[in-house]
Chains A and B, each alone.
Chain A
Amino acid sequence: MKLIKKEDLPGLYGYLASAGKKIFAPVRKNGMVSFSFTSAFEEIEMSYIQTKLSAKAAAFPKIEKLMKYTIQKEGQSYEPYDVEKFPGIVVWGAHPCDAAAFHPLNAVFTWETHDKYFTRRLENLLIIGLSCTSHDEFCFCTSVGVHPGDTKGSDIQLTPLPGGDYLAEIITTKGEAVAAAVPALFSPAPGLNKEELVTSVEKRFDHEALHAKINGMFDHPVWKEQALRCIGCGACTYVCPICSCFDIQDEGGIFGGLRYRCWDSCGFGHFTIHTSGHNPRESQDTRWRQRLMHKFSYQPQRQEVFGCVGCGRCSRNCPVDMNISEHLTQIMAV
């Protein structure tokens, strides 16, 4: 357990920037706090409850070029973008929910085949976590196996102290390398109880009990009731730190263009539509059911990861207040 003084944080930022890293941190802009690439320490907002978009874009951006294609008389060719050229990124100030989310995300992108675009970014990613000293009514991390001081996924974890300094836990070898490079910034920590410093989020349900229960609920009428107000947009999917569904599109001219991938959502009406017109999920309740069952039933069964970290972004950003912890609590009660 170490200590970083408030005035030494810019030094840490400076070191990472000079090491060629791009620093992805919460920035307050246009009235909201969201992860952005920064060029100066002063841009960073260190005290926030939750950002608008999650940090997943550091490894899985909203739009990503996969390859260039060319169409010539002799034939066609595909030239993938060189993933080796991806810069190292530091996710600075990710709350435990966001840091923990990279694990289930990774489970998808390395499931038997390795998606280099993602894995290369993740290999070069350094995550500086930030324990939570406050929360709001949308947070429910403790119900899904995460907690406000959790270090899962972080390389270095900072916990705010009342005076403005930070406790620093060096978790991984990546974190150790950084601490070793700038040892002057880290001093021994006073004997402090981290538990007392972080906020306490009341547990609403037990995630294993939820998993066991929801497994058998495919035909339950609760989905029809819950999904009535859902408008079928992708807001919940896109702000979620774990959702990873994507589309692949080609855009270009006669002689060539670009194949890219972009975020997609199982909530959209035409996500599963066949060319024949047949749509396996024709009504919003089947799509709402897919969202919840994929996160809490199917993904845990197949990839042994839970599809939710309780960050609450889906609920905060939903235009019609589809509050997921409320829905899950209702599911536990039926």
Chain B
Amino acid sequence: MNKLKEKAKELLSSRAVQVVVGYEEGTGGKIRPAFVSRPEDADKLLYNADCHHNLALYLYKHETKRIGKMAVVAPPFVLRSILILTTEFQLEEDSLVVLGVTPEEELIEFANFKEIETWVNQHPIGMKEKDREMLNRLNAMSRDERWQFWQNEFSKCIKCFACRGTCPMCSCFRCTVDYNAPQWISVGSHQLGNFDWHLMRAMHLAGRCSVCGQCGEACPMDIPVHLLSFQINEDIFKMFGSRAGLTLKKESLLSTWKSNDVENFIR
């Protein structure tokens, strides 16, 4: 995408930003995140449909922030993540230049976050077909069959926390599992501990997930952990009619009380 490279060069040469966070080619044709600080390196930036990492996760890390002001190459799911993170006080508008990129490989220079909010509402993202099929299959199973399915999947889990590491919304400086007094979630890889971790994480992401699917993509054991959050996402849409990452309102779906909250669980 030449426009992207040109824009990156321009931003870096004019010192409008000190680093452009984007994508580059890695080993064997794989795509990986890239951090470009020098205008001459901007040629390695690319964007295509294979670019799947959710770069929003680097935007609040102190290791990237210490380089200086950032520009980020942002496909639609990254735009959604940026909005979610902004509503959670993790990102500030003036610290970031957002270079939107679309599946049609167009470059959109957003002047402000309001424009991002407008754009994402006009361009909804759906689930990938294979994920929708998998969810349908899981929902068609009996409870026991589903339990068996996840028991089998979680038995592979090695508690490497790649799912957590790759998720922008896992932004807690100290994760629940890093606390030891009490040790809320077991760090060892055993059946109970693995369920604890994945279910706890799915609940912490409820209402906040940008449906990028990177947690499942990152898992070295190929566990489709993203399906847990995808399902919760669908449930939340049914219950509350909303999806994450579509608003700049500093309100969290599950922790902001509203007087018209449905309370039919109180009998």
Contact = CB atoms under 8 A, between A and B. Distances in A.
B260 interface: no
B222 A319 contact: no
A228 interface: yes
Given A62-B189, A229-B33, A320-B32, A52 B161 contact: no
Given A137-B27, A326-B27, A52 B62 contact: no
Interface string B48-91: 00000100011001111000000000000000000000000000
A93 B129 CA distance: 38
Interface string B205-222: 000000000100110111
B27 A321 contact: yes
A132 to B, nearest CB: 18
B27 to A, nearest CB: 5
Given A228-B35, A231-B166, A320-B33, A238 B27 contact: no
Interface residues of A, number: 44
Nearest to B31: A321
B30 interface: yes
Contact of A232 (B28, B165, B188, B220): B165
Contact of A31 (B63, B64, B189, B222): B222
B187 A247 contact: yes
A4 to B, nearest CB: 32
Residue from B28, B156, B160 whose CB has the most chain A CB atoms within 10 Å? B160
Given A227-B63, A228-B63, A319 B35 contact: no
A260 interface: yes
Contact of A283 (B62, B160, B178): B62
A238 B221 CA distance: 11
Contacts of B214: 319
Contacts of A52: 220-221
Contacts of A284: 61, 63
B188 A249 contact: yes
A217 interface: no
Interface string A315-329: 101011101001000
B162 A231 contact: yes
A183 B165 CA distance: 52
Given A52-B221, A63-B188, A63-B189, A238 B156 contact: no
A101 interface: no
Contact of A263 (B27, B57, B158): B158
B189 A262 contact: yes
B189 A233 contact: no
Given A251-B186, A283-B63, A319 B218 contact: yes
B62 A231 contact: no
Contacts of B143: none
A239 B164 CA distance: 17
Residue from A227, A263, A284, A320 whose CB has the most chain B CB atoms within 10 Å? A320
A15 to B, nearest CB: 30
Contact of A270 (B156, B178, B189): B178
Nearest to B157: A62
A177 interface: no
B190 interface: yes
A231 B57 contact: yes
Contacts of B178: 268-270
Contacts of B164: 233
Given A262-B188, A323-B26, A235 B222 contact: no
B186 A229 contact: no
A175 interface: no
B220 A235 contact: yes
Interface in B175-233: 178, 183, 186-190, 214, 217-218, 220-222
Residue from A62, A137, A315 whose CB has the most chain B CB atoms within 10 Å? A62
A142 interface: no
Residue from B162, B183, B217 whose CB has the most chain A CB atoms within 10 Å? B162
Contacts of B158: 53, 62, 234, 238, 263
Interface string A297-334: 00000000000000000010101110100100000000
B221 A319 contact: no
Interface string A219-239: 000001101110111110111
Contact of A249 (B57, B161, B187, B222): B187
11 contacts: A62-B158, A62-B189, A63-B188, A228-B35, A228-B58, A235-B160, A237-B160, A247-B187, A249-B188, A285-B63, A317-B220
The 8 closest A-B pairs by CB, nearest first: A231-B165, A319-B218, A262-B188, A321-B26, A233-B165, A321-B32, A233-B162, A317-B220
Given A228-B33, A238-B160, 5 more contacts: A52-B220, A138-B27, A249-B188, A283-B62, A319-B166
Interface of A: 30-32, 52-53, 62-63, 136-138, 224-225, 227-229, 231-235, 237-239, 247, 249, 251, 260, 262-265, 268-270, 283-285, 315, 317, 319-321, 323, 326
